[in-house]
Structure 1
């Protein structure tokens, strides 16, 4: 998977199903397997970690 413009450098992608090109993932974020991140969704973490579990959307 190529790094999209809206995906920051501290993101862990564990075989996600779909990340829309307008989604923004910033900070320390773990995206689990088969996760869908839809249109204009934003995750922003400044201090801790966001963990999006398997098969979430």
Structure 2
């Protein structure tokens, strides 16, 4: 039982469950990358490609 609700970020394609629809983005991350590289790649994919179809950035 949670005593404090988590904030749901108001981004397109981010659902209350935490799932993210990346559409047709090609996620090509090598298994051997460091955690820092992995996180950086996901940030790039999310913020550079997620909103392309809407023609805007958050």
**Which interval holds the TM-score relative to the shorter structure?**
under 0.3
Structure with the larger helix share: 2
Structure with the larger strand share: 1
Q: Please, what TM-score do these two structures have when normalized by structure 1? A: 0.25
Q: Please, what TM-score do these two structures have when normalized by structure 2? A: 0.24
